[in-house]
Amino acid sequence: MPTRVCCCCSALRPRYKRLVDNIFPEDPKDGLVKADMEKLTFYAVSAPEKLDRIGSYLAERLSRDVVRHRSGYVLIAMEALDQLLMACHSQSIKPFVESFLHMVAKLLESGEPKLQVLGTNSFVKFANIEEDTPSYHRRYDFFVSRFSAMCHSCHSDPDVRTEIRIAGIRGIQGVVRKTVNDELRATIWEPQHMDKIVPSLLFNMQKIEEVDSRIGPPSSPSAADKEENPAVLAENCLRELLGRATFGNMNNAVRPVFAHLDHHKLWDPNEFAVHCFKIIMYSIQAQYSHHVIQEILGHLDARKKDSPRVRAGIIQVLLEAVAIAAKGSIGPTVLEVFNTLLKHLRLSVEFEANDVHGGSMGSVSLNSASKDNDEKIVQNAIIQTIGFFGSNLPDYQRSEIMMFIMGKVPVFGTSTHTLDVSQLGDLGTRRIQIMLLRSLLMVTSGYKAKTIVTALPGSFLDPLLSPSLMEDYELRQLVLEVMHNLMDRHDNRAKLRGIRIIPDVADLKIKREKICRQDTSFMKKNGQQLYRHIYLGCKEEDNVQKNYELLYTSLALMTIELANEEVVIDLIRLAIALQDSAILNEDNLPMFHRCGIMALVAAYLNFVSQMIAVPAFCQHVTKVIEMRTMEAPYFLPEHVFRDKCTLPKSLEKHDKSLYFLTNKIAESLGGSGYSVERLSVPYVPQVTDEDRLSRRKSIVDTVSIQVDILPGSLPSDDVVSNTEEITFEALKKAIDTNGMEEQEKEKRRLVIEKFQKAPFEEIAAQCESKANLLHDRLTQILELTIRPPPSPSGTLTITSGHAQYQSVPVYEMKFPDLCVY
């Protein structure tokens, strides 16, 4: 019941108090007296200077009723305050607002859920009012704390608990709306407020039953769900909060998310973490996406010593964030993302290597194996993230990332890479090489360059084809697949998948264009390097079927994308050299590998013969394949690569009709206008600087160096080019005058008559510049013709067969640490 006063005292009371008293009925069940409320509203609007006194008096009555648990009168007082607040919009409303907020605070402090909900509803109504002028002294610290506490309500009654939590979320939403629209909105973004608001929202979002795991933006909740489901309402509030974040306060809003996920151990499993960051990435402004990515990278660095599954969960979140950010603005974090991911890739491999070396028997070994598997999960997540990020970058940035990753690949004997592998050991180094090449493979996927020079510059091609990346069959596979990604500019690779004899290449509908001048120049400069890689790759003892398939695809793609008439001849020479190596077997390869090389040569010559469409060449290839089908099916890919294929014991007794013959090929191509002089010169891979640096057996000991020596005793009009083949050991013996007999025996064994017709281009392929070599060759011929005196560096007399050549001055060749005299 309201307080009773006598008529005399009532007449002496201020009018605003009498108007306020009149709105309260004798029985609170009757509700607000509407007629008197209209009078109070008219008075407040007419005399706005009285608003602060009206508010103070209402607050006094409400406080008294709250203490006395008169809930009915409390409801009437709040209803009156709400109506006054909505009716009075002027400068004088500021003092009234303070009284209003004081009354709302009283309700929120009460222990009755009904009053807390009532105070929240009033505050939300107030938050929706746009004030004419900002308030420079009003703060909402209490409301942030109180609403956040309500979001964590643990009331015993589930319905009441849900009602209180919804009220708390709506209160936070009201605070956000009020402060963001206010000029003093910066206060709400302070860390002490965000550390309360964001975890409160995430706590309620955890209750959602079905987490949207799609890549696209989560669906917008309906209006009914917003009001009834705390999880949906909290998610909507978080979206609104993040959508209002600016450059300066973005980090303060994101960091509490990491703290919440860490505290509740939500990185493993990470479905909720992924869901949260999807909301974040789709809610913030696109230009701020890189801030979130930087925060994730920083948190990954901070948790680098956590369990592998936790790190994998963080990386998976990064992948989802990058997937969304890649569609918009990545910002300046491109290299930072890759650098951080590669660093953690190295750390993961290092942890894996340490576990392998530190494992023991029993349960410790089981734990170590389990941890290794977990580390592989981390590594795969990193590679997937690198690949997805890289594949969504524009071409100019992707080429930089390709160079960046390639620069991280450890190559033995060089110091160009910046990834520290000193503590990984051989196994760890091999593992990091595989991981980086897998990353590079994903980045290069879908990359289309106009010219091959853009896709494979020398600074990228040289380390990619390094002998250090040929020591393992898996490394070689990855290198070839990277090359395929960059070479295949017309999407022909899928048509070439699988090594086989293609009956009609025209059915594949190969797409190709005329070879441009830049590609022709590329092959003149780097062709020998590519041929060498394929040649040596075919002769590796640990090759499996996939290696031969990729080597075949490499030859086919070079034919499609880079081959003019000169390159076609070189590729055929390479194929014949591979056939000869399989027959002679100087490398002691197993029979399966020898037959695999023969099958590879057959598949490629069948392909190239149809591509250049020379009938006589096609006829010879078809005839050999038919003979093999009848007499030696193990020389064909369809048979040798299938299970339980019967292999021969040797290849020496086979008829020549089973082999592709150089003279037949030269005859067929010569009749069609091809320059076939070089076909008579066996292919010999060039020696590179990396051969000295690699830990593999140096091919300097096994690959000969071609040197043309023109005998001065012959007339100038009948100069015969005699080609000497000199190995490194032979040169060492040649310097020793006491070993002349051994020198002559060694030279007789190495002389090849076919080298007498070696063209100038064969030697030019081993030099950096065709122009420089031409100058050196002309100088050599001129000096030999006029028989200059011996060079101060020394002379060398070379005996071959029955001819003894004159002393020849020293000429420096383009070989590492080697001078040919």
Would you state the structure tokens that stand for residue 361, as one six-digit string? 């028997």
Average confidence (pLDDT) over 8-19: 68
From 442, 335, 311, select the one nearest 388 (Cα to Cα): 442
Residue 29 pLDDT class (50, 70, 90 cuts):
confident
- Closest alpha carbon to 333 in 301, 304, 297: 297
**Residue-level pLDDT at 772:** 56
pLDDT tens, position by position, 148-181: 999 999 888 999 999 999 999 999 999 888 887 6
Does position 9 have pLDDT exceeding 60, yes or no? no
Query: Which two structure tokens, joined as six digits, stand for 199?
Result: 């975890």
- Of residues 255 and 821, more confidence is placed in 255
pLDDT score, position 361: 42
How many other C-beta atoms can be found within 10 angstroms of the C-beta atom of residue 754? 12
Lowest mean pLDDT among 104-108, 732-736, 778-782: 732-736
Query: Can you give the pLDDT at residue 619?
Result: 95
pLDDT band at 16, cuts 50/70/90?
A: confident
CA dist., res. 482 & res. 68, Å (int): 80
Given a contact cutoff of 8 angstroms between Cβ atoms, the answer to whether 116 and 90 are in contact is no
- pLDDT tens for each residue of 103-140: 888 888 887 888 899 889 888 888 877 766 666 667 78
Q: pLDDT of 450-509, one tens digit each?
A: 889 999 998 899 989 988 888 889 999 999 999 999 999 999 999 998 899 999 999 999
Q: Check: CB of residue 463 under 8 Å from CB of residue 416.
A: yes
Between 512 and 353, where is the model more confident? 512
Which of these ranges, 12-16, 161-165, 278-282, 666-670, has the smallest mean pLDDT? Answer: 12-16
Alpha-carbon dihedral of residues 596, 597, 601, 603, nearest 10 degrees?
20
Mean pLDDT of 749-778: 50
Q: What is the mean pLDDT of residues 334-356?
A: 83
Spatial contact of 575 and 597, defined as CB atoms under 8 Å apart: no
Please report which confidence band the pLDDT of residue 232 belongs to, taking 50, 70 and 90 as the band edges. very high
Q: 502: which residues sit within 8 A by CB, 6+ positions away?
A: 508, 603, 606, 607, 610
Query: What's the whole-number mean pLDDT along residues 301-311?
Result: 91
Better-scored residue on pLDDT, 774 or 548: 548
Residue 372's pLDDT is: 63
Its CATH architecture, for the domain 13-134, is Alpha Horseshoe (1.25)
pLDDT band for 791, please (50, 70, 90 cuts). Answer: very low
Question: Where along the chain do its domains lie?
Answer: 13-134, 448-693
- DSSP 8-state class, residue 376: H
Residues ≥6 apart with Cβ < 8 Å to 66: 74, 106, 107, 110, 115
pLDDT value of position 237: 93
Alpha carbon 163 to chain centroid distance? 46
> According to the model, what pLDDT value does residue 168 have?
94
Confidence at 684, pLDDT banded by 50, 70, 90: confident
Q: Around Cβ 395, how many Cβ atoms within 10 Å? A: 14
Q: What is the mean pLDDT of the chain?
A: 78
Predicted confidence (pLDDT) per residue in 51-86, tens digit: 778 878 887 888 888 888 788 888 888 888 778 877
pTM score, two decimals? 0.71
* Cα(712)–Cα(785) distance, integer angstroms: 6
Least confident of 116-125, 574-583, 592-601: 116-125
Query: What does the pLDDT read at residue 711?
Result: 36
| The predicted structure's pLDDT at residue 181 | 60
Residue 694 pLDDT exceeds 90? no
pLDDT value for 242? 92
Round to whole Å and give the CA distance between 303 and 270.
15
* Across 257-286, average pLDDT: 92
Cα–Cα distance, 487 to 470 (Å, whole number): 20
- pLDDT of the residue at 716: 34
Greater confidence (49 vs 737) lies with 49
Other Cβ atoms closer than 10 A to 203:
18
